[in-house]
Amino acid sequence: MRIRLKHDEKCVETSALVSSGFESDAPDIVIPVEVAKRLNLWPLKKYHLP
Protein backbone atom coordinates (compact mmCIF):
# COMPACT_ATOMS: atom_id res chain seq x y z
CA MET A 1 0.00 0.00 0.00
CA ARG A 2 1.35 3.47 -0.83
CA ILE A 3 1.41 5.98 2.02
CA ARG A 4 2.47 9.58 2.50
CA LEU A 5 4.29 10.49 5.71
CA LYS A 6 4.53 14.14 6.74
CA HIS A 7 6.54 15.83 9.45
CA ASP A 8 6.87 19.61 9.64
CA GLU A 9 7.42 20.72 6.03
CA LYS A 10 8.87 17.36 4.87
CA CYS A 11 6.88 14.71 3.01
CA VAL A 12 7.87 11.20 1.91
CA GLU A 13 5.83 8.78 -0.20
CA THR A 14 6.67 5.12 0.34
CA SER A 15 5.10 1.69 0.58
CA ALA A 16 3.75 0.15 3.78
CA LEU A 17 2.97 -3.30 5.08
CA VAL A 18 -0.54 -3.50 6.51
CA SER A 19 -2.19 -6.22 8.57
CA SER A 20 1.13 -7.61 9.75
CA GLY A 21 -0.45 -8.96 12.96
CA PHE A 22 1.43 -6.48 15.17
CA GLU A 23 -0.68 -5.25 18.09
CA SER A 24 -0.18 -2.34 20.47
CA ASP A 25 -2.13 -0.32 23.04
CA ALA A 26 -1.12 2.90 21.23
CA PRO A 27 -0.76 3.79 17.54
CA ASP A 28 2.71 2.82 16.27
CA ILE A 29 4.57 3.29 13.03
CA VAL A 30 7.96 1.78 12.32
CA ILE A 31 9.98 3.37 9.54
CA PRO A 32 13.46 2.74 8.15
CA VAL A 33 16.25 5.05 9.34
CA GLU A 34 16.63 6.50 5.83
CA VAL A 35 12.98 7.60 5.82
CA ALA A 36 13.38 9.05 9.33
CA LYS A 37 16.40 11.03 8.12
CA ARG A 38 14.44 12.41 5.15
CA LEU A 39 11.71 13.57 7.57
CA ASN A 40 14.26 15.09 9.97
CA LEU A 41 13.29 12.60 12.67
CA TRP A 42 16.78 11.09 12.87
CA PRO A 43 19.09 11.45 14.64
CA LEU A 44 16.62 11.36 17.49
CA LYS A 45 15.91 14.73 19.02
CA LYS A 46 14.34 15.45 22.38
CA TYR A 47 10.72 14.69 21.48
CA HIS A 48 8.19 14.11 24.22
CA LEU A 49 6.97 10.63 23.50
CA PRO A 50 4.12 9.10 25.52
pLDDT score, position 48: 59
Alpha helices in 1-50 (DSSP H): 33-38
Question: Of residues 46 and 49, which shows the higher confidence score?
Answer: 46
**pLDDT, tens digit (0-9, with 9 covering 90-100), for 1-39:** 999 999 999 999 999 988 888 888 988 888 999 999 999
Burial (CB < 10 A; 0-12, 13-18, 19+), residue 27, is exposed
